[in-house]
Every structure is written in C-alpha cells, then in structure tokens.
Amino acid sequence: MRTVLIFLLLFASSGWRVCAEEAMPKSYDVIIVGGGIAGLTAAYYLDDFDVLLLEMQDQVGGRASSGQYKTISFARGAEYLGKPEEPLEEMIEELGLVLREVPAPADVTYHQGKFYYDELGKARLLINQSNLNTLNRFVGHLTDLYDSYDEIPELTLKGELARLDTISAKQWFTENNYPSIFHELFNVTARGLFGANLDEISALSVLPELAFDFEDFKGIENVSDLAEELSGTSGATEMYTFDNGIAAIPQALARHMADSIQTGTKVTAITKVDEEFKVTCIKDNQKQYILWADAVIIATPAPVALTIGAAVLSKEQQRLLGSVQYAPYSTVALFSNHPIFTKGFNLAIEDDQIFTDIYDSTWVASHFKENSDFTTLSHWVTLVYAPPSSFQDKTVIDLDDHELLARIYTALDMVLPGSSTKVIGHEITRYRYGLPVMVPGSYRRMIDLDKATGEGLFLAGDYLIYPTFEAAAASGQLAAEKVKEWLED
Ligand SMILES: Cc1cc2nc3c(=O)[nH]c(=O)nc-3n(C[C@H](O)[C@H](O)[C@H](O)COP(=O)(O)OP(=O)(O)OC[C@H]3O[C@@H](n4cnc5c(N)ncnc54)[C@H](O)[C@@H]3O)c2cc1C
C-alpha cells in the first residue's frame, strides 16, 4: 500500500496528472459540463477540438427529455419550437431530422365553458370581453415593440426597451388601460411559459413572446371576419416539433458526438492549477476522478454553475449568477386507453388552477404517421403542465404525488368532464430549476453576464438569452465561439 502511495506521489510530482482512484492522464482542449441543448450545441460547434461533455444523468437532453409509454414518446419538459433559426436550423438539417409543423389548431383557449381556436379565436375572445379597438391597439403596441427588439447579445437596451426591462408586465398592462381579460389570459401564458405571473416578470420579457403569437395578425377590420375561427380551421401554426418530440434533437446530437459525451458523470468542482482547469467528477455515484482542460464551459442551471465553479468564476460572474432566480415546475403525463382531448395540440385553461396547459402527445404523430389517426391509436398520453402561481411558491414540486394528482383531476374534470376516470397510469417529473425567471432587470443582467469573463471559463444556458430551447442552443453556440477565440489566442 505504502509503495503504491509513493509511486502515486512521484507520478504526480513528475508533472503527470493522476486521479485519486484511477489514472486519467488525459487532458482536453475543452470540457463541457451539462448535456442539455446548451451544452450539446457548444460541443457540436467545437468539433475541431478535443472536447468532452459530462452529463450527470444517464441520458442527455436536460429539460428537453422524453419519456415513453408503449408506442408513444412524450415530452417531460420542452414540447415545441418556433420556426427554427440558426444554430438549430443548421443542426436539424445536418443531423437529417424531419421537422414537423404542429397541425392546426395548435393552440386552444378555454374560457368559461367554451373553446377558442388558435390566435384568431383568442382575438375573438378578447374582442368579446373588451372591443375591437382595444385589441387592434394592443396588436399595434406589440408590433412596434417587436420591430425594435433583438435577442441578447444583439439587443441594444435603450429608450423604451430599457424602460420595459425595469417594469413588470402587469404595470405595462395597467398603464396602457388594458381590461381584466387581458390580465387573466396573459397571466396563464406567463405562468405556462415563464413559471411566473405578470406581477413578477418584466414587460420586456413577455411582450416579444405575445408579439410572436400575433405576428401574422394584420388587425381586424370587422368582427364578422372572425366568424369561422371558432371552429378551428386555420393553416400555418409556426409551431414545430418532431414525430418523437423535441428530444429528437438532443438524442441525435448524442449519437453524432458519441465519442465526446460521457453520461452518468456529475461534476462536483472546478478549480485552476497553473493554467489548466481541474475538473472533479463522480461517475455513477461512486467513483471520483479528475480530468483536465484548457477551457471549460458550464452549461448547467445558474445555481449549479455557481456551486461547482465557485473557485474559478470571476467576482462579477458570481454576483450575476447569484441574482438568477428559478421557477419550479412539474409536468404530469397521464396514460389512458381513450383520448382525453382531441381538439387541438395545446389547451390553455383558465387562471388560478394547479395547471395552465395540457398537451396532446399524439397530436403531431397522428397527423404525420402513415396509417395512423385517432381511430387506430390504442394508447394515449395527455401531458399536464403545472407551473407555480408565483415563482416563489414551491407547491407544485413539494406536493406529494397523491395531492398533486387530486388537484390536477379536479381542474381537468372542470374543463373536460369525466376525463380523470379514463386515466390508467401516470408519470410525474419535477423541476426544481424549471425556468429562469425574467424579473425586471433581467435583460440588463444578461447583457452584463455576456460581457463578464472568467479567463477560460465560459457559461451557457437558457438564463443567458431567454428561457427557451432555441435560446439555450444559441447560448451554446455563443459559448463555443468565445472558447474558440480563447484557445486560438
Ligand atoms: C416544463 C417545461 C416546459 C418547457 N417547454 C418548452 C417549450 O415547449 N419550448 C421551448 O422552447 N422551451 C421550453 N422549455 C424551456 C427549455 O426546456 C429550456 O430552456 C432548455 O431546455 C434549457 O436547456 P439548457 O441546456 O440551458 O439546460 P438543461 O436542459 O437544464 O441542461 C442542463 C444539464 O446539465 C446537467 N447537469 C446539472 N448539473 C450537473 C453536474 N453537476 N454535472 C454534470 N451535469 C449536470 C443536467 O442534468 C442537464 O442535463 C420548457 C421548460 C420546462 C421546465
């Protein structure tokens, strides 16, 4: 034993890097921590380098992972995308993935016993509860904003945009005299998309999302133009996924870069020795070992980055990371032998319920798979999305399974009477770090984080650009570019 110890000491002092339990002399150009879409995208754009991505779970994907029930894949987190732009568009093409546009009606709104289909249906509801001029004023407001809006890091935060970053969405709706139906409807949207309510999130974070929804809406001249929309017929939805869900992208990336990805490996600390990063990991919950790299990208939620990177993050990075707050989120997959909702892909329900949306997991596949439609399916998965009513409220992850399900069934039966009796099984997924909350000031924080450097230590993740799958991918590409510059310097 003593001989082994002396041998190890000699080995270490001779400049070789040795781990505590096994020899791992390999040093990488770049180590990436986290195999969500941000980390995977970073790895994809660094394929000219010697890269290793470490993911603590058994599979990559993070908040965009899928489960399986019999023949049906269902999302546990991210469900759909807007029309993909770079870098997602490029990766989808190069990986040979077939993108599916979600068939109409993609969005259904439930309000006081009635269903309203897609954006024009929602417009009809807003007009019914207010008037046409108010709706056209609202869409005009959104269009003006969208024209001057860019994503981080391109966004120039000045004038009205800078002001909108400092006020809550609720303040914006109130100061513009929008009636209560706007607050009610868009509070559901805000909770579902951001895990926070209109009082909590900045106007600047919500309005571009709403603008995107009303992008093709040219203003309605006459309410009768909307007569047909109640039946749910319109064509393009501009919402996209794949036959097996969004997880198709992380899964394809994992196959593409299999040699550079190590799953089941949790990073516990990153330190710096001379000019190299020392990355301490635990494999399969037992074996601790050390890897080395010239540069590191941390692509985990901000609180994890703050913990594992405490010794190497700059003071400014630590200050900014410490200010990122997260909304908890739970999703529940309900399994049945009979359909629960067959009228559209995403059903948004009234506010003040335990969940805001249900998604029909079979909606896309049943439209695109040959010989497959609702009549030939025998298994069904209905996804229930349960964000908190306030991001400070942990109820949706703290409730035990029994209570969570009981509250979900009550709301479900209110909207779709008798549907809870069809459920024969379920799977619950809880996210402590569901979504980074875009509180007032978050755009300023993101701009500052983009500029803050950690000398070879880079960050990626949705909290750096916007809390979506696509933005997380963009943050990964951005981190890859910064690493290339660093290594080539
Ligand atoms: C319920 C829900 C629904 C959503 N729906 C949509 C949607 O429909 N459309 C959309 O665009 N976006 C959606 N989003 C947002 C989207 O899922 C995220 O923005 C995106 O997936 C974040 O990717 P990421 O790579 O930044 O983080 P993550 O996906 O969280 O990836 C981080 C990875 O790091 C790993 N990790 C953490 N700690 C360590 C460690 N110490 N060592 C090693 N690995 C570690 C984690 O296991 C994880 O795989 C949704 C989010 C949630 C929660």
- The H-or-E segment that residue 28 falls in is strand 27-33
Q: Which atom of ligand 1 is nearest to the CA of 34?
A: 34
Look at the alpha carbons of 162, 165, 168, 173 in this order and tell me if their dihedral is positive or negative: positive
Best CATH choice for the domain 107-236 from the list 1.10.405.10, 3.40.50.300, 1.10.275.30, 3.20.20.70: 1.10.405.10
Residue 171: alpha-carbon gap to chain centroid: 26
pLDDT-flagged residues of the chain (< 70)? 1-25, 216, 218-219, 225-234, 370-376
Q: Which atom of ligand 1 is nearest to the CA of 462?
A: 26
In angstroms, rounded to a whole number, what is the distance separating the alpha carbons of residues 415 and 436? 29
Spell out the residues 6+ positions from residue 296 whose beta carbon is closer than 8 angstroms to its own.
Answer: 30, 31, 32, 33, 270, 277, 279, 312, 456, 457, 458
Architecture of the domain whose range is 326-436 = Alpha-Beta Complex (3.90)
Amino acid 386 reads: A
In angstroms, rounded to a whole number, what is the distance separating the alpha carbons of residues 65 and 67? 7
Which residue's CA is minimally distant from atom 6 of ligand 1? 78
In angstroms, rounded to a whole number, what is the distance separating the alpha carbons of residues 198 and 204? 11
Residue 242 backbone dihedrals phi, psi, to 5 degrees: -130, 165
Quickly list DSSP for 69-127: ETTEEEESS---BSS--TTHHHHHHHTT---EEPPSP-EEEEETTEEEEHHHHHHHHHH
Pocket mutation for ligand 1, best pick of 63, 189, 194 (most atoms within 8 Å of C-beta):
63
- Ligand 1 centre to CA of 471 (Å) is 11
In contact, 163 and 444? CB cutoff 8 Å: no
- Ligand 1 centre to CA of 467 (Å) is 9
Candidates 436, 390, 459; CA nearest to 198 is: 390
In angstroms, rounded to a whole number, what is the distance separating the alpha carbons of residues 195 and 197? 7
Which residue's CA is minimally distant from atom 7 of ligand 1? 78
Quickly list DSSP for 374-434: TTT---EEEEEEE--SSTT--HHHHS-HHHHHHHHHHHHHHHSTTGGGGEEEEEEEEEEEE
**Listing from the earlier edge strand, what are the strands of the sheet with 107-111?**
114-117, 107-111, 346-348, 357-360, 380-386, 326-336, 423-436
Q: Domain locations in the chain?
A: 2-63+248-324+439-488, 107-236, 326-436
Q: Which residue has the tokens 């569901």?
A: 434
- Ligand 1 centre to CA of 67 (Å) is 15
In contact, 116 and 125? CB cutoff 8 Å: yes
Instruction: Return the CA Rg of the chain.
Output: 24
pLDDT at position 365: 81
- Ligand 1 centre to CA of 61 (Å) is 7
Ligand 1 pocket, residues with Cβ under 6 angstroms: 33-39, 54-57, 62-64, 77-81, 266-267, 299-301, 304, 308, 329, 331, 385, 431, 434-435, 461-462, 467-470, 472
In angstroms, rounded to a whole number, what is the distance separating the alpha carbons of residues 46 and 481? 8
- Ligand 1 centre to CA of 458 (Å) is 17
Count of beta carbons in the 10 Å neighbourhood of residue 145: 19
Does domain 2-63+248-324+439-488 match CATH 3.30.465.10?
A: no
Which residue's CA is minimally distant from atom 52 of ligand 1? 77
CA distances from 342 to 136, 149, 323, 411 (A): 31, 36, 42, 18
Which residue's CA is minimally distant from atom 14 of ligand 1? 78
Which residue's CA is minimally distant from atom 41 of ligand 1? 267
Which residue's CA is minimally distant from atom 31 of ligand 1? 36
